[in-house]
Amino acid sequence: MKTIYDQTKLKGNKVFEPFELAGITFPNRIIRSATYEGMGDENGKPTDQLLKKYEALAKGGVGGIITGFIGVSQQGRSSGFHMSMLDKAENVEAYKKLTKRMHEMGTPIIAQLNHCGGQTKEESTHMPVVAPSKISDYKAKEITKAEILEVIEAFVQGIKNAKEAGFDGVQIHVAHGYLLSEFVSPRMNRRKDEWGGSTENRFRIVKLIFEKARKEVGDYPILVKLNGYETLKNGMTIEESIKIAKLLEQVGCDGIEVSNGTEKAGLATIRGQVPWKILIAQNKKLNKMPEFMKNFVGIVVKKTLPQPQPKNLFNLEAAMSIKKAVNIPVILVGGITKLEEIEDVIKDKIDAVSMCRPFIIESDLVNKFKTGKQTQSKCIQCNFCIIGTLRGPFRCYYGKLPVSKS
């Protein structure tokens, strides 16, 4: 039986002490935020390469691991490299090795489940790309009511598969412009039927996933990653995300990680440098251009790609506002690079922090923080890593392009 979440436990939070969130005991409050790994095999099963990455993170002291997003349906597959999938029962067994190993190492592991919605490509899914509404942010057809019901079933099946595979919980992706965040966003959902319009209607798909999943998996931890705001016109505001957070609490969500951004919003989710060099290098046509032309294209990309500010702690205000409005745990992600910042945020009663890029460059960052060896991440926010996952497994580039072998 899950214990009722007790806000008073937050008093005197300590970053490096074990704590409970969503019924899971975490060894500390610094969690690895979902990071697309591109390390699935041709069937979306986890490879040994992925296991090694997770072992390094666990050994390096992370409080818990949220996996890179795992697909719940072929139509929602990403256009990134070698996505992991939990859409079919036959994939479940392969994940058991991974979850078992993490448990041996004392590291909770949460499966992030996703449907990419309008932010994928037909070449990757071999199916029509779908989104709540046909809008210019992406090339997608309006999803039908029958297809919405299929998406709900796919998420419920994904949650059941994750539980069976031994994950400590799941995180439903309702952020970054993927299908469920498209539904809750007033910018991306322009529907006039019962799936659009009011906040409650836009939230309906998420509500039904929770209701159906709860019947199947009981009180198994189900968290959500939510856009606390969107930087684009008519996008999610903090006020709107507070309403969504309250609805999430009502339907039995176990915790909310607060983020922001969509593909159209450029660097809103990650901030930092514009990774134009790798964008050009990975584009066959552009890469053939002479150097001076590449530099020119780089200037154009820098000028046209939205680069919202600030670069640090950019979801803090939204997370604090949501934290005040709900009685479930809140995790803050986005531009956290220093131990000092983490201590402040935790003192401010955010339950835990999560980081992505700092763990790509240093999987042992938590141990370095804990032992006082280092107080700041070495990440330079070059953002080559995010573009890199379109063509290969994730890794740190540290602002340098791989030397071509030809």
Ligand X SMILES: Cc1cc2nc3c(=O)[nH]c(=O)nc-3n(C[C@H](O)[C@H](O)[C@H](O)COP(=O)(O)O)c2cc1C
Rounding to the nearest 10 degrees, give the CA dihedral for residues 210, 211, 216, 222.
20
Task: Please identify, using beta-carbon distances, which residue of 3 and 85 lies nearer to ligand X.
Answer: 85
Q: Are 82 and 393 in contact (CB under 8 A)?
A: yes
Residue whose C-alpha is closest to residue 128's, from 56, 75, 188, 59: 75
CA distance 180 to 161: 19
Q: How far is the CB of 258 from ligand X (least distance, A)?
A: 10
Task: Please identify, using beta-carbon distances, which residue of 7 and 375 lies nearer to ligand X.
Answer: 375
Task: Please identify, using beta-carbon distances, which residue of 173 and 204 lies nearer to ligand X.
Answer: 173
- If binding means CB under 6 A, how many residues of this protein chain bind ligand X? 26
Q: Are 156 and 209 in contact (CB under 8 A)?
A: yes
CA distance 163 to 147: 24
334 lies in the site for ligand X, by CB under 6 A: yes
Residues in the chain: 406
| Sign of the torsion formed by the C-alpha atoms of 388, 389, 390 and 393 | positive
225 lies in the site for ligand X, by CB under 6 A: yes
389 lies in the site for ligand X, by CB under 6 A: yes
353 lies in the site for ligand X, by CB under 6 A: no
355 lies in the site for ligand X, by CB under 6 A: yes
Helix axes 92-104, 145-164, angle to 10 degrees: 50
Residue 7 corresponds to which amino acid? Q
Residues in 143-202 at the binding interface with ligand X, rule: CB under 6 A = 173, 175-176
Q: What angle do CA 309, 269, 264 make, to 5 degrees?
A: 95
331 lies in the site for ligand X, by CB under 6 A: no
Q: How far is the CB of 6 from ligand X (least distance, A)?
A: 27
Task: Please identify, using beta-carbon distances, which residue of 245 and 386 lies nearer to ligand X.
Answer: 386
Residue from 332, 356, 366, 396 in contact with ligand X (CB under 6 A): 356
Task: Please identify, using beta-carbon distances, which residue of 34 and 184 lies nearer to ligand X.
Answer: 34
69 lies in the site for ligand X, by CB under 6 A: yes
36 lies in the site for ligand X, by CB under 6 A: yes
Task: Please identify, using beta-carbon distances, which residue of 138 and 149 lies nearer to ligand X.
Answer: 138
120 lies in the site for ligand X, by CB under 6 A: no
Residue from 68, 71, 118, 266 in contact with ligand X (CB under 6 A): 68
Q: In 10 A of CB 273, how many CB atoms? A: 17
Task: Please identify, using beta-carbon distances, which residue of 201 and 307 lies nearer to ligand X.
Answer: 307
113 lies in the site for ligand X, by CB under 6 A: no
Q: Are 100 and 115 in contact (CB under 8 A)?
A: no
Peptide bond into 310 cis (omega under 30): yes
Residues in 357-386 at the binding interface with ligand X, rule: CB under 6 A = 357-358, 385-386
262 lies in the site for ligand X, by CB under 6 A: no
Q: Where do runs of H (alpha helix) occur along 64-110? A: 92-104
CA distance 195 to 130: 14
Q: What angle do CA 216, 148, 200 make, to 5 degrees?
A: 85
259 lies in the site for ligand X, by CB under 6 A: yes
- Give me the residues that bind ligand X (CB under 6 A), please: 33-36, 68-69, 112, 173, 175-176, 225, 259, 269-270, 333-336, 355-358, 385-386, 389, 394
